[in-house]
C-alpha cells in the first residue's frame, strides 16, 4: 500500500493450486483473513515480513521462491 505500483510479485496462487489448498485454508494457517490472501495474490497488498515468512513456511519453501522483488525499470 505504498506509493505507486507494488514491486513485489508472488507465486502463491500457483503454489496453492499445486497443493490443492484454498485461500481460506492458507489464511487460517498464516493467521490473516481470506481477503488479505486475495489482496496479496492480486498484488494489491504487500504483506509484512512476518506474514511473508509465515506464507513461505506453509509451503515449506524459501522466501525468495514465494515472493520476488521487481526493481524499477530505469
Q: Report 7-46 residues binding other proteins (CB under 8 A).
A: 31-33, 35-36, 39, 42-45
Whats the size of the chain, residue-wise? 74
**Cα 27 to Cα 4, 36, 47, 64, 70, distances in angstroms:** 26, 8, 12, 20, 25
Q: Cβ distance 70 to 16 under 8 Å?
A: no
Supply the minimum distance, in Å, between the C-beta of residue 43 and other proteins: 8
Supply the minimum distance, in Å, between the C-beta of residue 35 and other proteins: 5
Residues that bind other proteins (CB under 8 A): 1, 6, 31-33, 35-36, 39, 42-45, 47-48, 51
Amino acid at each position: 500500500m505504498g506509493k505507486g505500483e507494488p514491486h513485489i510479485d508472488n507465486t502463491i496462487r500457483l503454489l496453492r493450486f499445486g497443493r490443492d489448498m484454498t485461500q481460506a485454508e492458507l489464511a487460517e494457517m498464516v493467521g490473516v483473513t481470506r481477503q488479505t490472501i486475495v489482496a496479496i495474490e492480486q498484488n494489491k497488498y504487500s504483506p509484512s515480513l512476518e506474514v511473508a515468512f509465515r506464507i513461505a513456511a506453509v509451503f515449506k519453501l524459501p522466501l525468495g521462491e514465494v515472493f520476488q522483488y521487481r526493481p524499477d525499470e530505469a
